Amino acid sequence: MKCLHLTNSQSPGDIVMLTAAVRDLQLRHPGRFSVTLNTTARELWDHNPYATFAPAPRPGDRVIECCYPLIHRSNEEPWHFIHGFHQHLSACLGLRIEPTRFQGDIHVAPEERQWVSQVEEITKMRMPFWIIAAGGKFDYTAKWWSHERYQQVVDHFDGRILFVQVGEACHHHPKLRGVLDLRGKTSMRQLVRLVHHSQGVLCPVTLLMHLAAAVPASEGMPRNRPCVVIAGGREPSQWEAYPHHQFLHTCGALSCCDNGGCWKSRVVPVGDGDGKDNPEDLCTDVVHLRDASLSFRRHTEEPLPAHALPGNQHRRLTDYLPRCLDMIRSAQVIEAIERYFEGGVVSYLNDAQRAASHEAIHLSHGDQAHQPETSSVS
């Protein structure tokens, strides 16, 4: 048996994809490898039968820093993100590793499945809910959709869907009205359990969409969890989309993403000193949500200065959208969500659940929202 020590310091969404590669290494070549690893988002490896978390390699371990150079061919070739780490590990080890499932490999222990979810702790009733992430990290503002349009979606389903808003406190996740507010109140493991109990997910291209596919569903929920992803044209659809998701993209509709995704990082400069403020990493087709005269297209031969926008207008990051995301309207997102209900794989809240959800939305602003999870069997 060969001993491997795998490392990776990327974002949690990348780690979800790495869990798939470790699973398939062990399933395709059983008994040949003992795997330890050290990555970010350690809790994503909890209860994993295929590898053990370790801060340092053991004597004699082969250390591999895992990456996915395949991404550089994602616009031209028909690969999904799930193939990235697989192909890199295959090349490093000189053997063939192919995906066994079209999803990451996140495990929920039997005792965790019995715990009451954070939502049920507040509502005092088991009910279906959708997780919503209406923002993102400041390093990739080109993924942000309009906060007002997220609100329109929530308002449309008032009384029919309980939305639970999540997001790290240090990231951009402005408060939505009419939602159960769990922003900044979930650890990584609590987020996994929340996804486990959820009926569906609404988000941009981010960790949550990968968890929606990778986390097993709780009893009574669809085997393939509904998920609507507001993607735009940043990433090629074949690289990110899962078969059972509604992946709303605009690749091919604009010149900046007519051959896959643009992979730009930011819409306008953030001013935090990060290299992603450089002109080559900024969106080239920008829409101002409140003043059409401030919409503009950048040209590589005449890059917009990093310190200013047309007319030297003072900017707010949330005033601007990439045109590819501006083209996705709230009505399209609503229709994508409704498709799951019209097809019958999920159902809206009943009268009792509706009443409890409205009460829970108010309670989510009080101390009861901070109560720890319990091990009570529901």
Residue with tokens 């295929």: 50
Per-residue pLDDT tens digits for 69-91 = 999 999 999 999 999 999 999 99
pLDDT of residue 23: 98
Closest CA to 179 of 118, 129, 114: 129
Question: What Å distances lie between residue 198 and 83, 224, 282, 289, CA to CA?
Answer: 27, 11, 35, 32
Q: Which residue among 36, 68, 93 closes a domain? A: 93
**In angstroms, how far is CA 203 from the centroid of its own chain?**
6
136 lies in a domain? yes
Does residue 100 sit within a domain? no
Residues 185 and 370 sit within 8 Å (Cβ to Cβ): yes
Identify the pLDDT of residue 346.
98
Task: Give the domain CATH number at 373.
Answer: 3.40.50.2000
Three-class SS state of 194: helix
Note whether residue 102 is domain-resident. no
Please indicate, yes or no, whether residues 254 and 279 belong to a single structural domain of this protein. Answer: yes
Tokens for 160?
A: 């029919």
Q: Mean pLDDT for each 10-residue chunk of the chain (378 residues)?
A: 97 98 98 98 98 96 98 98 98 98 98 94 95 95 97 98 96 95 96 98 98 96 96 98 98 96 94 92 94 80 44 64 98 98 98 95 62 32
Into how many domains does the chain fold? 2
Q: Are residues 56 and 129 in the same domain?
A: no
Does residue 276 lie in a domain region? yes
Same domain, 123 and 20: no
Q: How many residues does the chain have?
A: 378
Q: Is residue 76 domain-shared with residue 169, that is, in the same domain?
A: no
Taking the CA atoms of 223, 225, 365 and 41 in sequence, report the sign of the dihedral they define.
positive
18-47: per-residue pLDDT in tens?
999 999 999 999 999 999 999 999 999 999
DSSP 3-state of 88: helix
Do residues 285 and 320 touch, judged by C-beta distance below 8 A? no
In this structure, the answer to whether residues 262 and 362 fall within a common structural domain is: yes
Determine the pLDDT at residue 357.
Answer: 96
Q: Is residue 166 part of a domain?
A: yes
pLDDT at 294: 83
Residue 309 pLDDT: 44
CA 83 – CA 240 distance, rounded (Å): 11
User: What integer pLDDT is reported at residue 189 of this predicted model?
Assistant: 97
Q: Is residue 99 part of a domain?
A: no
Q: At what angle do helices 207-214 and 188-197 cross, to 10 degrees?
A: 50
The position carrying tokens 């697989």 is 86
Whether residues 210 and 313 share a domain: the answer is yes
Give the model confidence (pLDDT) of 241-295 as tens digits: 999 999 999 999 999 999 999 999 999 888 889 999 999 999 999 999 988 888 9
**Can you spell out the DSSP letters for 25-50?**
HHHHSTTSEEEEEEESSGGGGTT-SS
Q: Are 264 and 234 in contact (CB under 8 A)?
A: yes
Do 292 and 175 belong together in one domain? yes
Residues 38 and 69: beta-carbon distance below 8 Å: no
Q: Which residue has the tokens 């306008």?
A: 268
Please give the order of strands across the beta sheet that includes 320-322: 296-297, 285-288, 320-322
Does 363 fall in a domain?
A: yes
DSSP 8-state symbol, 372: P
327 contacts 253 by C-beta, under 8 angstroms: yes
Taking each helix axis from N to C end, the angle separating 82-93 and 12-28, rounded to the nearest 10 degrees, works out to: 50
**27 lies in a domain?**
yes
Q: Which two tokens stand for residue 334?
A: 């609503």
| Domain encompassing residue 61 | 2-93
Domain boundary among 51, 66, 93: 93
Residues 256 and 168 in one domain: yes
Mark whether 125 and 251 lie in a shared domain. Answer: yes
Both 125 and 17 in one domain: the answer is: no
pTM of the shown model = 0.92
Query: Do 241 and 337 fall within a single domain?
Result: yes
Instruction: Say whether both 139 and 11 belong to one domain.
Output: no
